[in-house]
A and B are shown apart, each in its own frame.
Chain A
Amino acid sequence: MAAQTTTPRTQDDRLVEAGFLKRMLSRPELGALGGAVLVWVFFALVAGDRGFLTIRGAASYLEVSSHLGILAVAVALLMIGGEFDLSIGSMIGWAGMVMAILASQWGVPLYIGAILSLVIAMGVGALNGYMVLRTKLPSFIITLASLFVLRGLTIGLTRTLTGVTNIGGMADLPGYELMRVIFASDIPIGEANFPISIIWWFAVAAIGTWVLIRTKVGNWIFGTGGDQNAARNVGVPVAKLKIGLFMTTAFAAWLVAVIQVIGSKSANVLRGEQQEFTAIIATVIGGTLLTGGYGSAVGALLGALIFGMTKQGIVFWGIDSDWFQVFLGVTLIIAVLVNNYIRKRAEEARQ
């Protein structure tokens, strides 16, 4: 505050001193925080005595949230940058299968298989980005196409090469133990085991937040999503940035694929189905605008948490699982409405 003492600022009568609370209110993830609390309280009330409130309950919804959350954070970065990636669900199946086939059919150690799978996944991500930039078609269309192509390729190639659609027995393959420690080990807390994927989830969200808020790349992402031409005119490398963002979502899909394949000890061609939608939903619940230019990684983390709590909360509640999707849909709408309401109030407070 040395600057303030040497050059006293002229007090502007229009300036309402923005306090800590107001600043918090203007963050995009605030609505999601409210939504998460609401969902937690709801299930604490209806399913609190059935295990939702136990440490085991927490471990279970955090695990579900973590897989979705890793995707959602990457999707948030891409969506703030103004693009969509619908191919991530197929990418999970594809990346897991590439790793499993390399390891089970050709005897490549699992970790080498994982690295090769990562390289291929990032290549597909870059191709998505390149196609979007080159064709100038909406990324919705391009990645919708790659959603089908990737899923089809995964099923077709797997059946051609192995004759089956599910490859098990990962635990017997060389390199499994190392992979398990990194991607699928458990951290015992109390009587529950917290899977390490939760740590990956928080790490990805922390890195995403850091990139968005504290680096120049983050500034470019917001700028490009807000107005691509304006950003390009002031020298932002829009093409490179977008390709990088598509590679980021591909990376996130690969990470989830590895966690799931190692955790379940098997790869399935259908893994990751519909994850592209749930990831986008979680991101939107987290306060990121569908139209780009605004949002946060922490919001995506919270959006995934809302989703995970709802999914597992319904199980704890003991409702017939036939009704699961109804509750899921209603909860999501309520979460988004709460989110919007709080954001609107916050914007009014700010002005």
Chain B
Amino acid sequence: MKQSMLEVRNISKYFGNVVALSDVSMNVHKGEVMCLLGDNGAGKSTLIKILSGVHRSSEGQYLFEGKDVSFTSPRHALDHGIATVYQDLAMIPLMSIARNFFLGSEPIKKVGPFNMFDRKFADDAAREEMRKMGIDIRDPSQPVGTLSGGERQSVAIARAVYFGAKVLILDEPTAALGVKQAGTVLRYIAQSRARGIAVIFITHNPHHAYAVGDRFTILKRGRTLGTFTKDELPREEMVRMMSGQDELEALTHELVEFQHTDELYAESQMAEIDQQLSSTLSKME
């Protein structure tokens, strides 16, 4: 059995007398995409805040590379290689890609007695890192605000990878994106996995999850309904588990309309990702 990169066991979290999470267990391996699914209010955010060091669990165990850990801050978790990319991205729209990329960890060049910000290095490294992930950025000195939502997500993920993330926690990276842009990000997630990173991909879009996920943990009302591999969990079943029984009826009607197109999309997406991966792999060899 492979060792988990990151694992939580029987985690609970209470805010006063509100139970946000109850007895949740999950894990993720190196080079794996673990999807964390659940409707709004299912406890996804609470769980990732615990994983990323914002909150501490009220009960339960948190293991990183097999060892017990207790993170006191996001910085602390980051120092262990657990990087979280939040929905709001922590990107400054008016700053250039390269400056955003290195904000807080600026490359320094010594010039005489002065420590200078090494702009050339920053530009080159940002461009190179994005290219490794399959995106050719036009000009690393262009403001992040001129990028599309998907490209911004990609810059944020590339930054986390560049700074040595072993575990990448992505909070709804595809939520606000159009179909094409979501595809860019999903491709990027697959690329990160190919580089041996353990990815925790939070989403409430089962189609996006299905496109890149290896395993799926489904949260509902603060509890986990279990972890499944792709074979064990057809997409319809996944949707059924995420939503309540009552809502299912109404949801099915809605789904019928767009499922067809979505399936086509997911298939083409998968094909594209496979192609991308195999070409990347062959390039590596």
Q: Does A113 contact B (CB under 8 A)?
A: no
In the complex, what residue of chain B is closest to A214 when comparing beta carbons?
Answer: B116
For B164, what are the chain A residues with a Cβ–Cβ distance below 8 Å?
Answer: none
Shortest CB–CB separation between residue A2 and chain B, in angstroms?
Answer: 12
- Say whether, besides A3-B124, A15-B138, A231-B103, A216 and B90 are in contact (CB < 8 Å): no
CA–CA, A223 to B92, complex, Å? 6
Within 8 A of B (CB), among A230-280: 230-231, 233-236
Max chain B C-beta neighbours (<10 A), residue from A233, A236, A293: A233
- Say whether, besides A12-B136, A15-B138, A226 and B95 are in contact (CB < 8 Å): yes
CA–CA, A235 to B83, complex, Å? 13
Within 8 A of A (CB), among B183-201: none
For A233, what are the chain B residues with a Cβ–Cβ distance below 8 Å?
Answer: 74, 86, 90
Q: Does B99 contact A (CB under 8 A)?
A: yes
In the complex, what residue of chain B is closest to A28 when comparing beta carbons?
Answer: B94
In the complex, what residue of chain A is closest to B95 when comparing beta carbons?
Answer: A222
In the complex, what residue of chain A is closest to B139 when comparing beta carbons?
Answer: A18
Q: Does A49 contact B (CB under 8 A)?
A: no
Q: Which of A9, A218, A294 contacts B117 (CB 8 A)?
A: A218
Please provide the 6 A-B residue pairs with the shortest distance between their CB atoms, ordered closest to farther. Answer: A226-B92, A234-B104, A216-B106, A235-B104, A230-B90, A223-B103
Shortest CB–CB separation between residue B77 and chain A, in angstroms?
Answer: 11
CA–CA, A294 to B99, complex, Å? 13
**Are A222 and B75 neighbours in the complex by a CB distance under 8 Å?**
no
**Are B139 and A15 neighbours in the complex by a CB distance under 8 Å?**
yes
Q: Does B91 contact A (CB under 8 A)?
A: yes
- Say whether, besides A216-B115, A219-B99, A230 and B92 are in contact (CB < 8 Å): yes
Shortest CB–CB separation between residue A295 and chain B, in angstroms?
Answer: 10
Q: Which of B88, B114, B115, B146 contacts A230 (CB 8 A)?
A: B88
In the complex, what residue of chain B is closest to A23 when comparing beta carbons?
Answer: B141
Shortest CB–CB separation between residue A80 and chain B, in angstroms?
Answer: 10
Q: Which of B78, B91, B92, B138 contacts A222 (CB 8 A)?
A: B92
Footprint of B on A, CB under 8 Å? 3, 9-10, 12, 14-16, 18, 213-216, 218-220, 222-223, 226-227, 229-231, 233-236, 289, 293-294, 350-351
Q: Which of B92, B102, B138 contacts A231 (CB 8 A)?
A: B92
For A213, what are the chain B residues with a Cβ–Cβ distance below 8 Å?
Answer: 117
Interface of B is mostly: loop
**Are A14 and B138 neighbours in the complex by a CB distance under 8 Å?**
yes
For A293, what are the chain B residues with a Cβ–Cβ distance below 8 Å?
Answer: 92, 94-95
- Say whether, besides A214-B116, A222-B99, A223-B92, A235 and B139 are in contact (CB < 8 Å): no
CA–CA, A293 to B145, complex, Å? 12
CA–CA, A38 to B104, complex, Å? 40
CA–CA, A176 to B95, complex, Å? 46
For B139, what are the chain A residues with a Cβ–Cβ distance below 8 Å?
Answer: 15, 18
**Are B117 and A215 neighbours in the complex by a CB distance under 8 Å?**
yes
- Encoded as 1 (CB less than 8 Å from any A CB) or 0, chain B from 61 to 97 comes to 0000000000000110010000000101111111100
21 sampled A-B residue pairs with Cβ under 8 A = A3-B124, A12-B136, A12-B138, A14-B138, A15-B139, A214-B119, A215-B115, A215-B117, A219-B99, A219-B117, A222-B95, A223-B103, A223-B104, A227-B92, A230-B91, A230-B92, A231-B92, A235-B105, A236-B103, A289-B94, A351-B146
Q: Which of A16, A216, A222 contacts B94 (CB 8 A)?
A: A222
Q: Does B255 contact A (CB under 8 A)?
A: no
Q: Does B19 contact A (CB under 8 A)?
A: no
For B86, what are the chain A residues with a Cβ–Cβ distance below 8 Å?
Answer: 233
Q: Which of A12, A16, A216, A223 contacts B108 (CB 8 A)?
A: A216
**Are A294 and B91 neighbours in the complex by a CB distance under 8 Å?**
no
Known: A230-B88, A231-B104. 10 other contacts (CB 8 A): A215-B114, A215-B117, A219-B99, A219-B117, A222-B95, A226-B94, A227-B90, A230-B92, A230-B103, A235-B104
CA–CA, A351 to B106, complex, Å? 27
For A226, what are the chain B residues with a Cβ–Cβ distance below 8 Å?
Answer: 92-95
For B136, what are the chain A residues with a Cβ–Cβ distance below 8 Å?
Answer: 9-10, 12
Shortest CB–CB separation between residue B47 and chain A, in angstroms?
Answer: 19
Shortest CB–CB separation between residue B276 and chain A, in angstroms?
Answer: 15
For A3, what are the chain B residues with a Cβ–Cβ distance below 8 Å?
Answer: 124
Within 8 A of A (CB), among B131-166: 136, 138-139, 142, 146
- Say whether, besides A214-B116, A215-B117, A293-B94, A236 and B99 are in contact (CB < 8 Å): no
For B95, what are the chain A residues with a Cβ–Cβ distance below 8 Å?
Answer: 219, 222-223, 226, 293
